[in-house]
Amino acid sequence: MLCFYLAAVWLYLLLFYGLFRGARCLSSVNSKGKTVIITGSNTGIGKSTALELARRGARVILACRNKEKAEAAAFDIRKESGNNQVVFMQLDLASLKSVRSFAETFLKTEPRLDVLINNAGVIGPGHTEDGFGLAFGVNHLGHFLLTNLLLERLRQCGPSRVVTVSALLHRFGNIDFHLLASQKDLVPSQSAWHNFQAYCNSKLCNVLFTRELANQLEGTDVTCYTLHPGVIYTELCRNMSWWLQLLMMPLAKLFFLDPKGGSQTTLYCALQEGIEPLSGRYFSKCALQKVEAKGRDDGLAKKLWELSERLTGLSQQIQN
């Protein structure tokens, strides 16, 4: 029995330290005088990211849907960091109208933007206000529009960065453009399996979006990065069915990172000096990682970008 116990402990340690444990962001960069937007920052790794950047002196904009939770988070962060420059601004990524309203308000009231962190993410059933599948609409399309609306301000304040939180599960993602055109989604139904697949697909969109964004920003002072934050159990799973959450809980307690651990690669991409030549690339455990062929497909990335422009109405703005 003792041997079995010891073997179980060693297996746990091997799995945790070999596969699940994240790295630490060791950058000592001070962010005083800089402004950072973090979407979905009222909880989880977004809140942990906001806290660390506030500690470094940044003006931090919590771009969140839930006003009550976000204002409570801003209060917590101000108190813990000693930085009063932490404010909430309303943003619902499931509404393109809300994204436009947020960008308009921000550009009118904030003179600079140094780092945009596209952190918010959802998994589960449902549709956005505009009729898109929830994961595709929030995780990709909302962030796509937000980034493009704020790009000019990022250029004006360069060197600046766009950091988009993807996931290791992007490897299982696919993009069916015909399905997207007919159903405004990347999966054909709202079953539990298709909800999971929709999340994977949206995370592949994050990787391809970052790749094409880097291509379009080449020669400017704006760089962009995407990342896998680690295996983390956060409120991302709140839209899962209760039985899936029940199954996840024991694994979460044993193996998953806490929000602080999960924020480290985001912080690395936002702060680390010298990674500018790696714009458009994918990171995990505070280090550069290689993505599979579909995540490096420039043709696929450009096609997704052009379709996203049409779906968000950006292509009409460009023409006008």
- The encoded tokens of residue 211 equal 């790749």
Element (H, E) at 292: none
Tell me the C-alpha distance between 227 and 235, whole Å: 19
Q: Which residues contact 60 (CB under 8 A, 6 or more apart)?
A: 35, 36, 38, 41, 50, 53, 54, 77, 83, 85, 86, 87
CA gyration radius for the chain? Answer: 19
Contact between residue 261 and residue 72 where contact means Cβ atoms under 8 Å apart: no
Rounded-to-integer distance, Cα 197 and Cα 185, Å: 11
Q: How far is CA 134 from CA 30, 88, 129, 153, 242, in A?
A: 36, 23, 9, 28, 19
- Closest by CA position to 168, among listed 104, 262, 79, 84: 262
Whether residue 62 contacts residue 86, with contact meaning beta carbons closer than 8 Å, is answered with yes
Q: Is 199 a catalytic residue?
A: yes
**Strand arrangement of the beta sheet that strand 86-90 belongs to:** 86-90, 59-64, 35-39, 115-118, 160-165, 222-228, 282-284, 287-289
N-terminal to C-terminal alpha carbon distance within the chain? 74
Name the residue among 154, 136, 164, 166 with its Cα closest to residue 304. 136
Query: Which of these is catalytic: 199, 225, 233, 282?
Result: 199
d(CA 73, CA 80): 11
Collect all residues with Cβ–Cβ distance below 8 Å to 131 and sequence separation of at least 6: 184
Q: Which residues are catalytic?
A: 199
